[in-house]
Each structure stands twice: as structure tokens, then as C-alpha cells.
Structure 1
Amino acid sequence: MEELSALAEGFGHALTWYNVALMVLGITLGVVIGVLPGLGGANGVAILLPLTFSMNPTSAIIMLTSIYWGALFGGAITAILFNIPGEPWSVATTFDGHPMAQRGRADEALVGAFTSSFVGAIFAVALITFLAPAVAKFALKFGPAEFFAVQFLTFASFLGMGRGTPWKTLASMCLGFALASVGLDGVTGSLRMTFGYDELLNGFKFLVAVIGLFGIGEILTSMEDGLKFSGADAKLRMDAVIRTWKQLPRMFGTFIRSCIVGCWMGITPGGATPASFMGYGLAKRFSKRGHNFGKGELEGVVAPETAAHAAGTSALLPMLTLGIPGSPTAAVLLGGLLIWGLQPGPLLFVEQKEFVWGLIASMYLGNVVGLIMVLTCVPLFAAILRVPFSIVAPVIVVICAIGAYTVNNSMFDVWMMLAFGVMGYLFSKLGYPLPPLVLALVLGDQAESSFRQAMLVSQGDVTVFWSNWLSGSIMTLGVILAFWPLAQGLMNRFGRSRPAAA
């Protein structure tokens, strides 16, 4: 009960008028950042970090984390209405969110996304509140072999439970691995596939690729269809809110699975993006309506949003308890703590008790305020749909170009964005899935680094991935999922070849 009393004191610090005003301002800015493709929570927090230097640490961290919550909420808006993920983790939300919008159910999709995001975040905050010491101790067991096992499971689950032809999924993923390997080799220091371009020394920027593949690619596809906007009216009707909330209790199992996956990926850290893909894949596999995923199923929106928010929130746990950021945004927040003279780690809960519990209390309040704000502001964002597509399309292209340019302040990234846009258009025409490519691009270098470190430690012995129960169980599950489509195909062929019973 000590945690509850400390949390009550934290609410006392967080519920001052000044901190609540900062919370509202931060969430508003975060939603705008989440809506605009290319900015992202990490960039938004980094840009606004200098504004907090004159604040006390508690107020500063409340504002910055509120920007984070707002960005998490805002990413779903353009994913559902425009089929353009405002954030990388919103990619999986487009699979069913945009088809729902096209069928006139945009309000249901948005309400489902916001509510499930709130549930995932609150679950993760509760985990931080009560299980921080035990979870931190467990995370310390992870080495290179365990990290690679988690990353391999992420790839394998998408291959085993993904949509479409497994071979096309594998080909798309392999292209993503190839793109992720471009740049300076972190182990040997040699250059790989830069072709003389100094701008490629650090590889392809993930945000540039995502903006091009989904933003420009979607614009090109829509232009081919005759400059018709593919969205639908998204007025926030109270009956739609109530109708959606009535459906959500039937998805209790999906909520629990996605929360567990999200917290796992946030703490280990795998990240919100793979967590959203895994949450979607598990929901598709276990749902009674899994065959309808991709056609406009509410559960297909709930699963990735819940997992992404659980991962994004729980990523703050290793940052606070161990000083290990679980996400890019957590890394920026870690830098802020160090600037304010605070050293993250177990002693932070003892030496800066007021700060820690004020932050945790603000996490609860921030998500409540964020949910209310995004639900009430949906009509403002839906008003964009009334603008003709011939006007909206150039605006989106300009926003995408600005987002790509601000990554490195380089025109080279803008040209690369256009190249990725053409690639996204071709993938759409040829029926190749984009999400596996995106997943491999964002996790490819991390997986390669973990694999090579594990090989160096074991002197080339691949059994290191089965050297303990933790990595061994994860790797075994990953192998099963990787070969599941092949096994399923063999079983189906064997079943058809058996003679019918007389």
C-alpha cells in the first residue's frame, strides 16, 4: 500500500493549475505533432525541450510527457481518415481503420482507436506504479541473444500471421533488410551500399521512408483513381460513441493480449511499432472474425492501438528505473532528466520521490485529459474531409516534404521521400505488402547488431539462442511461426490428397 500513498502525494503535486495547464498545452501540441507526418513524438519533444529549462523538473517532465501522449493519440487520426500514418506505430491501424472510414464508419474507428489507446496506456502506467522493481530486475536478464530472439519473434509473427501471400511478405521483408543495411557498418566500420553518396553514411532515415511509402504512395494511387478523396464523413455523434463503447467489452481478450504484448515490447525494449504489428497479428489469429480483418473490422483497430500505447508508455519504465530508454522519445526525456540534474535509476525513487510520483500521477491524468480532448476535437479534424482532394493532395505533399526535410535539414531526404513514394505506389499495384518492408527497415539494424554481438560472445555457436529458457522459448516460438505458413500449406495439400471416405 506504500505505492498508493506515494501516488496520492503525486496527484497532489500534479493537480496544480499550472501543471494542468501545461498538460493541456502539451497534449494539444502532441496531437498536432502526431497528425503531421514526419514529425513524431521524439522530434516534437526534442524541439520543445529547451522551452522547459526554466521550469522545475516536475512541471517540465509533465509537459514533455503530455506531448508524448498527444502524439500517441494523434497518429491514429490521419491513419484512419487519410490512410497516412502520422506516426510509425499507426501503420497497422490503417489496415482496418481506413476501410472503416471508407464505409462511413470513421467515427467508430476513431472512438475505438482513442479508447483502446487510453486502455493500453493506463494498463502500462499501472504496471509502472506497482511492478517497477520486479520488471526492472527481469529486464536486466536481457543480453544480445535475448534481444535478437525478441526481434526474430517479431519478424516471424508477421510472416506467420500476416495477410497475403507469405512469399510476397518474405520478399518485402528481405528488401527492408537490404535497405536497413545501407550505411556504415557498426562493427567493422566499412561502408555498405552507399554508392558514393555521403548522405547514406548513416543509412536510410526511417521517417523519410515511411512518409514516402505511405504518404506519397497514397497520393499517387489516389491521383490514378481520379483525384477522389477516399475518406468518409467523420462527425462525432454521441450514438456512435455509445455504440462503439458497447462493442469494446466483447474484445476483452484482445485488450489483454495487446496490453501484455505492448508492455513486453516497451520494456525489453522492442518498441511501439513492432508491438502494434504483433498486436494486430495476434488479434487476427485468435479473433472469431479474423477472416474479416483488413476489410474494416473494429477489432483490427483496437489491437494495434492498445499495443502501441502500452509499449510507448511502458518504455518509460526502464528509463526511470535503469536509465535505459525504451524508445527514441524516452531517450530524449532521459536527456532532459540529466540536464535537470536528475540521475535515472533505482535511487531516483528514493532521492527524488516527489518528482517520480508526480510524474506517474501525471501519466494517469494526462491520458484522461488526452482522451477527452481527442474525442471532443474529432469534428475539427474531420472538417478536413470537406476540402476538395485537389487542394488536400498538394497540402499533404508539402507537409510530407517538410517532414522529410526536417529530419536532417537536407534536400536529399526529400528526393529519397519521392523515390520511396514511387516504390510504395509500385508495391500497391503489384500486390506486395508494405508493412513487412517497414518493419524490417526499422528493426533490421538492431536485429543485425544483436545477432552479431551474440555470435561474437559465443564464438559463432548459434546454440547461444537456446542457451537459457528465456531466449530459447522465444526463439522456438519464432521458428514455429516462421514455418507456420509452410506447415499449413503442407497440411492442406495432404488433406486434399486423402481419398474421401466411402
Structure 2
Amino acid sequence: MEALGLLLHGFAVLLTWKTLLLMMVGLVLGVFVGVLPGLGGPNGVAILLPLTFSMDPTSAIVMLSCIYWGALFGGAITSILFNIPGEAWSVATTFDGYPMAQQGKAAEALTAAFTSSFIGSLVAVLLITFLAPWISSFALKFGPPEFFAVYLLTFCSFVGLGREDKHKTVIAMSLGLLLAGVGMDTVSGQLRMTFGSTDLLRGINFLVAVIGLFGISEILLTMEERLALRGHAASISLRTVLAVWKDLPKYWMTLLRSSVIGCWLGITPGGAIAASFMGYNLAKRFSKDPDSFGKGRIEGVFAPETAAHASGTAALLPMLALGIPGSGTAAILLGGLMVWGLNPGPLLFVEHKDFVWGLIASMYLGNVVGLVLVLSTVPIFASILRVPFAAVAPMIVVSCAIGAYAIQNAMFDVWLMLGFGVVGYVFKKIKIPLAPFTLALVLGSRAEDAFRQSMIISGGNMKVFWANGLVGTITTLAILLLFWPLIDRLIASISKPGAPAAKAEA
């Protein structure tokens, strides 16, 4: 009941004309960046983040979170009408969404995508509402060893549970940790890796790196691919919406299963991409007619969209309660909170109740308003795709440059942004994931501070990370997750003792 009372307080904070206007602006901008193949949720949030620095934290985070919700909705438009995933997690939506559009059922597919997105996000927001306060109150017991153990758990889980190649994840994370150490050492006050440059005394600004890694690199990739957009027209009528909603109860198990998968992979570093594919594959596996998937089945739209949006929303839970982002976008929002002087974690729920519960209330309201917005404006946003990309790209690059310069009024940051844009482009070409790199860049300095404080407390004794049941459990779990692929392989070989011998005989 306490959570409900705090949530009502959050709605009271949120329901001002100024905040509601910013919410609408954020949703429209979010759908816009979600529709354009060169942008997307993380990129849009990264590019527009500097524009919110003059706002109060509550208004700024509400606008940015609504950009994220809007982008989640907008990605489905390109997937279904143009067979071009607006987001990486929208790939699975194209499997059945685009065939439905080819069969003249684009309106049904879009309605299914938007509705399932709303359901997945709603389940995740309910999870955040009731679990975040409990997690944060539990985390008040944490000291430097416990915090380092949590950071270690996050890094190890990205390596052990991530879907990317393990060595590429380690490379990306190592580079992020290396760059996080540039500038002044917060413990000793010594300069590190500045190479005599006064511009590097402040370190590498996280926002500058993110704008380049996500915004500029996507522009370079899109310019290289020279996307030619040919799609199907669509307009959604009330009759179509009601017909799809009438059939929703038939797919309750798919919606529930995908929501659970999405929430789990959002809290852990599995991510929305893994969630969407897992939701789709499980829906196909448990279907009575699996051969119909990939040929325009509406359940093939429900499953990935529900899972992806549940995952994208649930990723904010560890970010708010522990200060550990569960996705790339959550990491960008974490950086924004730190810029505004807010430290995500257990004390956030004690010291900044208005902010936290206003944000959670905006998730409810933003999803409802976003659903109505996209259902009524699909033709408008679909027409954006017919604007030549040559006209859109320069505006995006200029907005990136303005955003990077505005952070510290330094031209060096603009050049740094362009450099990170090239790095991001190369990373994407050779399939090195950006999420671990971003995570390490954001949390690297905080993890180092927690580790060194732990060493000072213990006199350099590593046993401090097993000093009590809480920190020992987290540290052990982190090590297990780091080596989970090997453990999983060992368990599989033990459970099938005849398999290696049979393979050797062959």
C-alpha cells in the first residue's frame, strides 16, 4: 500500500501543464527518432540529452524517458511497413509483421505491435513500482565492498550471459574501463593518461562519447548502406483496433510468457534483442501450428514486441534502485542523472522521492498517451520515411555537434565526438558490442573508487569481498556468471556422458 501512496504522490508531481507538455514533446520526438533508421531510442536519448540540462531534473528525465517510450513504439512502424527494423530488437517483428503488411493487414499488424508494446511496458512498470522500493531499502546495507561486488556482478554477467562473442565483450569492456580512467585520479589526485593535454584533465565526458558512438556512427552506417525505402501504406481505423483487441484473450499465454521473459532479460544484461528473439522462438515452439510463423501470423508480432518492450522498461529497475543500468539506454539515462547531481541507488528513493515517483508515474501515463498517439498518427510518421535521408542526415550531425559542444563549451569535445563516431562505426562493422563499452565507461570510475576504498578499509586484503554473507554471495555469484559458459558446457558434458565418445568415434 505504501507503494500505491507514493505512486499517487508521483502523479501529483507529474500532473502540471509544463510536465505534460514536455511528455507530449518527448513522445513525438521519440516516435520520430524510432521511425528513422539512422536513429533509434539510445541514439535519440543521447543526442537530445544536452538539450535538457537547463530543465529541472524531473522535467528532464520525464521528457527523456518519453523519448525512449516513443522510440520503442516507432521502431515497429518501419519493421512492419518497410521491412527495415527501426531498432535492433525490432528484427523479430519483421518476420511476421512485414508479411502481414504484404497481405494487406498492415493496420492489424501495427495495432498488434503497439498494443503488445503497451502490455509489455505496463507489466514492467508494475514490477518497478513494487520492487524498486524494496530493492533500494535492502541496498542501504551496502558499503564499498558490496557496491564493488555489484559492479563486478554487472560486468561479469555481461560477459557470461551476453549473446555476443565473449572475447568481443571483454575487448569492449576493457576499452571502456581504460577510457574511464583518463583524467584526475579521484583518490590520489594524480593525472592519468592526459599526455600533457589540458582538455583531458576533466577526463572523457560520457555524454560526448555516447553521442558519437550512437549518433554519428549510425549516420555513417546509414550513408554507407544508402537505404532505399519502399513500403506499404497504412492507416488504422477504430474498427481494426477493436477487432485486434477482441482477439487478445486468445493470446494471453503468449503475452504473459513474453512479459516475464522481457522483465527477466531487462533486469539481467540479456537485453531487449535477446528478449524479442526468445519471445518469438518460444511462441513458435509452443504453437499448435509453428509452420505458420514467418508467413504473416499475428502471434509472431505479439510475442517479440511484448518481450522487447518489457525488457526495455525493466532495464530501468536496477538503474534506479542500485545505480546499475540494465541496457544501453538506461546507461545513458544514468549519465544524465549524474549530470543533474542525482546519484541513482538506494538513497535516491529517500532523498529525491518527488523525482523517482514522478518518473515512475510518467511511465504509466507516457505509455497510455503513447499508445493513443501512435494509433492515431501512423500515416504521418510513416511519411517521414519518404523524406530523402540526404536531407535528414546533416540536421542530425549538426544537432550532435551542438549537443557535444554545449556540455562544456569546448570545441575539443566536438572533435572527440567525431572520433568516437568513427570508433562506433568500426565497432559495428566488426561486431564489437557498444553496450558493454558504454557500461564500462559509465561505471568504470565508480567501480574503481569502490574497489580502492575497500582495499583501504581492509588494508589490501582481498578477503574483504567475502567478509560477510551479503558481499560474499554477490562476489561468488559474479565469478560463477563470468565462467558460466564453461560451467554450462561442463554440465552438458556430464549429463550426456556418451556424446564425446560418440563424436570421437565418428
Normalised TM-score (structure 1): 0.70
Check whether the contact 1:97–1:298 (CA below 8 A) recurs between aligned residues. Answer: no
CA distance in structure 2 between the aligned counterparts of 1:115 and 1:445, rounded to whole angstroms: 37
Greater CA drift, 41-50 or 310-319? 310-319
Do the aligned partners of residues 464 and 78 (structure 1) sit closer, same or farther apart at CA in structure 2, a change above 3 Å counting?
farther
- In percent, how many aligned pairs have the same letter? 41
Aligned to 1:96: 89
CA root-mean-square deviation: 4.7
CA distance in structure 2 between the aligned counterparts of 1:156 and 1:139, rounded to whole angstroms: 20
Aligned to 2:256: 252
Check whether the contact 2:45–2:68 (CA below 8 A) recurs between aligned residues. Answer: no
Check whether the contact 1:33–1:40 (CA below 8 A) recurs between aligned residues. Answer: no
Pairing 1:182-331 to 2, within 5 Å after superposition: 182-225=182-225, 227-229=226-228, 235=234, 237=236, 242=244, 249-253=253-257, 255-256=259-260, 259=263, 275=267, 277-280=269-272, 283=275, 289=281, 302-303=306-307, 305-310=309-314, 312=316, 327=334
CA distance in structure 2 between the aligned counterparts of 1:395 and 1:359, rounded to whole angstroms: 30
* Residue 48 (structure 1) aligned with residue 55 (structure 2): yes
SS of corresponding position for 1:198:
coil
CA distance in structure 1 between the aligned counterparts of 2:280 and 2:359, rounded to whole angstroms: 40
SS of corresponding position for 2:56:
helix
CA distance in structure 1 between the aligned counterparts of 2:404 and 2:4, rounded to whole angstroms: 44
What is the Cα deviation at residue 187 of structure 1?
A: 0.8
Structure 1: state its 5+ residue gaps.
Answer: 51-60, 84-92, 263-274, 320-325, 336-342
What is the Cα deviation at residue 445 of structure 1?
A: 1.6
CA distance in structure 2 between the aligned counterparts of 1:187 and 1:234, rounded to whole angstroms: 59
Aligned to 1:463: 463
The correspondence for 1:498, drawn from 480, 501, 505, is 501
CA distance in structure 2 between the aligned counterparts of 1:305 and 1:388, rounded to whole angstroms: 29
What is the Cα deviation at residue 374 of structure 1?
A: 4.9
The correspondence for 2:22, drawn from 18, 22, 26, is 26
Check whether the contact 1:176–1:437 (CA below 8 A) recurs between aligned residues. Answer: yes
* Residue 71 (structure 1) aligned with residue 67 (structure 2): yes
* Residue 120 (structure 1) aligned with residue 124 (structure 2): yes
Do the aligned partners of residues 229 and 181 (structure 1) sit closer, same or farther apart at CA in structure 2, a change above 3 Å counting?
farther
CA distance in structure 1 between the aligned counterparts of 2:268 and 2:76, rounded to whole angstroms: 15
What is the Cα deviation at residue 97 of structure 1?
A: 2.1
Check whether the contact 1:82–1:98 (CA below 8 A) recurs between aligned residues. Answer: no
Pairing 1:436-447 to 2, within 5 Å after superposition: 436-447=436-447
Aligned to 2:44: 37
SS of corresponding position for 1:142:
coil
Aligned to 1:429: 429
CA distance in structure 2 between the aligned counterparts of 1:70 and 1:308, rounded to whole angstroms: 13
Do the aligned partners of residues 313 and 177 (structure 1) sit closer, same or farther apart at CA in structure 2, a change above 3 Å counting?
closer
What is the Cα deviation at residue 141 of structure 1?
A: 0.6
* Residues paired across the two proteins, number: 443
Aligned to 2:387: 387
* Residue 479 (structure 1) aligned with residue 486 (structure 2): no
What is the Cα deviation at residue 362 of structure 1?
A: 6.8
Check whether the contact 2:73–2:114 (CA below 8 A) recurs between aligned residues. Answer: yes
CA distance in structure 1 between the aligned counterparts of 2:419 and 2:158, rounded to whole angstroms: 25
What is the Cα deviation at residue 207 of structure 1?
A: 2.5
Check whether the contact 1:215–1:400 (CA below 8 A) recurs between aligned residues. Answer: yes
SS of corresponding position for 2:199:
helix
Check whether the contact 1:168–1:433 (CA below 8 A) recurs between aligned residues. Answer: yes
What is the Cα deviation at residue 450 of structure 1?
A: 1.6
Q: Residues 400-448 of structure 1: CA distance to partner in whole angstroms, max 9, x if unpaired? A: 2233223223222221121112112222333323322222222222221
What is the Cα deviation at residue 158 of structure 1?
A: 1.6
Pairing 1:100-111 to 2, within 5 Å after superposition: 100=93, 105=98, 107=110
Pairing 1:149-164 to 2, within 5 Å after superposition: 149-164=149-164
CA distance in structure 1 between the aligned counterparts of 2:197 and 2:388, rounded to whole angstroms: 39
What is the Cα deviation at residue 172 of structure 1?
A: 1.9
Q: Residues 379-401 of structure 1: CA distance to partner in whole angstroms, max 9, x if unpaired? A: 44433211122222223222322
Check whether the contact 1:233–1:385 (CA below 8 A) recurs between aligned residues. Answer: no
CA distance in structure 2 between the aligned counterparts of 1:284 and 1:474, rounded to whole angstroms: 28
Greater CA drift, 32-41 or 458-467? 32-41
Check whether the contact 1:81–1:232 (CA below 8 A) recurs between aligned residues. Answer: no
What is the Cα deviation at residue 186 of structure 1?
A: 0.8
Check whether the contact 1:37–1:211 (CA below 8 A) recurs between aligned residues. Answer: no
Check whether the contact 1:144–1:450 (CA below 8 A) recurs between aligned residues. Answer: yes
Q: Residues 266-316 of structure 1: CA distance to partner in whole angstroms, max 9, x if unpaired? A: xxxxxxxxx573444884897683899xx9997666556434434547866
Greater CA drift, 281-290 or 191-200? 281-290
What is the Cα deviation at residue 27 of structure 1?
A: 0.7
CA distance in structure 1 between the aligned counterparts of 2:480 and 2:418, rounded to whole angstroms: 38
Aligned to 2:101: none
Q: Residues 64-87 of structure 1: CA distance to partner in whole angstroms, max 9, x if unpaired? A: 66435423413536777799xxxx
Check whether the contact 1:191–1:201 (CA below 8 A) recurs between aligned residues. Answer: yes
Check whether the contact 1:38–1:400 (CA below 8 A) recurs between aligned residues. Answer: no
CA distance in structure 1 between the aligned counterparts of 2:356 and 2:216, rounded to whole angstroms: 42
SS of corresponding position for 1:47:
coil
What is the Cα deviation at residue 496 of structure 1?
A: 6.2
Aligned partner letter, 2:466: W
What is the Cα deviation at residue 47 of structure 1?
A: 2.0
CA distance in structure 1 between the aligned counterparts of 2:164 and 2:215, rounded to whole angstroms: 22
Q: Residues 319-363 of structure 1: CA distance to partner in whole angstroms, max 9, x if unpaired? A: 9xxxxxx9455568888xxxxxxx9986999xx9xx999997676
Check whether the contact 2:184–2:202 (CA below 8 A) recurs between aligned residues. Answer: yes
Structure 2: state its 5+ residue gaps.
Answer: 34-42, 80-85, 99-108, 285-293, 295-299, 324-332
Check whether the contact 1:152–1:475 (CA below 8 A) recurs between aligned residues. Answer: yes
Normalised TM-score (structure 2): 0.69
Check whether the contact 1:216–1:418 (CA below 8 A) recurs between aligned residues. Answer: yes
CA distance in structure 2 between the aligned counterparts of 1:2 and 1:327, rounded to whole angstroms: 26
Greater CA drift, 393-402 or 419-428? 393-402
What is the Cα deviation at residue 236 of structure 1?
A: 6.5
CA distance in structure 2 between the aligned counterparts of 1:498 and 1:413, rounded to whole angstroms: 58
Q: Residues 464-494 of structure 1: CA distance to partner in whole angstroms, max 9, x if unpaired? A: 2222222222222221121123445667899
Aligned partner letter, 1:228: L
Check whether the contact 1:38–1:403 (CA below 8 A) recurs between aligned residues. Answer: no
What is the Cα deviation at residue 223 of structure 1?
A: 2.6
What is the Cα deviation at residue 372 of structure 1?
A: 3.2
CA distance in structure 1 between the aligned counterparts of 2:475 and 2:301, rounded to whole angstroms: 31
